[in-house]
Chain A
Amino acid sequence: MRGGEGERVRVAEGQRGRVGEGERVRVGEGERVRAGEGGRVRAGDELPPLEIEITRTLIVAGAIASRDYQDVHHDAELARHRGSPDVFMNILTTNGLVGRYITDHFGPAAVLRKVAIRLGAPNYPGDTMVLTGRVEEVEGDTATVRVVGANGIGRHVTGTVTVTLPPGGAS
């Protein structure tokens, strides 16, 4: 299961600030104006990357917060018995992180309409996932964003998010 696409994501130069426990956010291109704060969103816009440290705590906390008690998300021994090298992140946590990535960027007035994700290389403890996004389409007040979350062994998640932007957020 290891040995995926091994893709490396280059994180744009820029400031780095702590946002929550165990994770870092790097803001690309310096002072990118957020939609919802007067910025205009256009097809082709790249969202600044979001780095998520995949800790054991994040995996277990995400599984329990989503009420997912599958042993592979909290019991490393049983996970190995099932052929996985360690516990791994559940899909609900990935879904939540993808949603957060979009609303972190577009602001609290943005409303998620659709989130469609596919999982690939699992998120194991000790890895880092870098979420990147690109606006594919803007129609009226609604944007479609293609999201990729790459970890050290490949693409953990690929997906598409449809989000309604607050007034002034779309061009």
Chain B
Amino acid sequence: MSDEAAEPAARLKAYEGRAAAVAGVGKDPVNEPMIRHWCEAMGDTNAAYTGPDAVAPPTMLQAWTMGGLSGHEGRSDAYDELLGLLDEAGCTSVVATDCEQEYLRPLRPGDEITFDAVIESVSERKTTKLGTGHFVTTRMDVRANGEPAGTHRFRILKYAPARPKSKAARPRPVVNRDNAGFWEGVGRHQLLIQRCGGCGTLRFPWLPGCGACGSPEWDTVEASGDGTVYSYVVMHHPPFPAFDPPYAVGLIELAEGVRIVSNVIGVPYDKVRIGMPVRLRFERYDEELVLPVFRAGAEGGR
């Protein structure tokens, strides 16, 4: 936990029961243009919201109390202080999580909106997928021309955004006695193919014995670096920490006839095609890791 977590919960709890808004006034009376804009956005064609006897969609209740770009009027000092404290604690982002509304009377064009709100509760510091922060619940009483028109309970999460994790390192190769020579070759920017000492058959990946004749004797030949895409898949899901899907994984047939699985680079993942010529390239991924990959097109390089 960061030191931000040290923010005394008691200091936040003290705001419970205090006013969040006092004698707030809606910036506009209930009006047809705002109703129409709302209905257009929602795709709501309800006939009750148009014509001479139109009412506002009840779910617009909160919209009439919104401060808009010019900010809230009527918001209490206590509420501003609470939000300020949370900002100072690093909880600078806000997201709404719950909304409970009760509609006591329909709102009609011309109705003047006033409202009061109270801070019902401030939660302990909670860790969510978005980050850590506090849930703040307010309850607002909305009036139209002075008559009760509805209640609006609203819960927000004020949170410190979770920092994106630093990109994970690619997996390390598992090096053992049977394949150590291959990885030593990669370290020298050479792609080495095993050749059977008995029958001369080339093999890849590296194995202790020949699949054709069984001989344990072998030496190596260096791949020319030319190849073609024999097959491929595009990885979309699941994502692995070090990789950024979608990406293409190719089965590359080397000019020498053996095949190797590697990334196809230098071409969008969805432009990789079977038969596409590729060229070996050694790519450095971090201080320790160099891998043989294949670049589409004639360009290559060591």
Using C-beta atoms within 8 Å of the partner chain, give the interface range for chain A: 35 or more
B93 at the interface (CB under 8 A from A): yes
A66 and B98 within 8 A (CB): no
B187 at the interface (CB under 8 A from A): no
A96 and B95 within 8 A (CB): no
Contacts known (A65-B34, A70-B94); A83 close to B66, Cβ less than 8 A: no
Q: Give the residues from 87 to 119 in chain A that come closer than 8 angstroms, CB to CB, to chain B.
A: 90-93, 95-100, 103-104, 108-109, 111-119
In whole angstroms, what is the CA distance A116 to B60 when docked? 13
Greatest chain B CB density within 10 A among A62, A96, A112 is at A96
- Say how far A4's CB is from chain B's closest CB, in angstroms: 9
A65 and B94 within 8 A (CB): no
Contacting residue for B130 out of A1, A21, A67, A70, CB 8 A: A1
Q: Give the residues from 45 to 99 in chain B that come closer than 8 angstroms, CB to CB, to chain A.
A: 45-48, 57-60, 62-63, 66-69, 93-99
Contacts known (A23-B43, A93-B42, A108-B48); A83 close to B93, Cβ less than 8 A: yes
Contacts known (A1-B130, A69-B68); A116 close to B59, Cβ less than 8 A: no
B7 at the interface (CB under 8 A from A): no
In whole angstroms, what is the CA distance A83 to B57 when docked? 33
B63 and A92 within 8 A (CB): yes
Q: Give the residues from 107 to 164 in chain A that come closer than 8 angstroms, CB to CB, to chain B.
A: 108-109, 111-119
A68 at the interface (CB under 8 A from B): yes
A83 and B46 within 8 A (CB): no
Complex contacts, B93 vs chain A, CB 8 Å: 72, 82-83
In whole angstroms, what is the CA distance A69 to B131 when docked? 22
- Residue of chain A at shortest CB distance from B55: A111
B102 at the interface (CB under 8 A from A): yes
- Say how far A135's CB is from chain B's closest CB, in angstroms: 19
Contacting residue for B102 out of A20, A92, A113, CB 8 A: A113
Complex contacts, A118 vs chain B, CB 8 Å: 97-98
Complex contacts, A66 vs chain B, CB 8 Å: 38, 41, 60, 62-63, 66
B101 at the interface (CB under 8 A from A): yes
- Say how far A122's CB is from chain B's closest CB, in angstroms: 8
A96 and B94 within 8 A (CB): no
Contacting residue for A119 out of B38, B40, B98, CB 8 A: B98
Contacts known (A66-B38, A70-B94, A90-B96); A100 close to B44, Cβ less than 8 A: yes
A9 at the interface (CB under 8 A from B): no
* Residues of A in contact with B (beta carbons under 8 Å apart): 1, 19-21, 23, 52, 58, 61-62, 64-70, 72, 81-84, 90-93, 95-100, 103-104, 108-109, 111-119
- A-B CB proximity, top 8 nearest: A83-B161, A20-B43, A67-B66, A99-B59, A91-B96, A116-B100, A65-B41, A61-B41
6 more A-B residue pairs beyond the given contacts A95-B59, A99-B44, with a C-beta to C-beta distance below 8 A: A52-B43, A58-B41, A96-B41, A96-B57, A116-B99, A117-B98
* Residues of B in contact with A (beta carbons under 8 Å apart): 34, 37-38, 40-48, 57-60, 62-63, 66-69, 93-103, 106, 129-131, 161-164
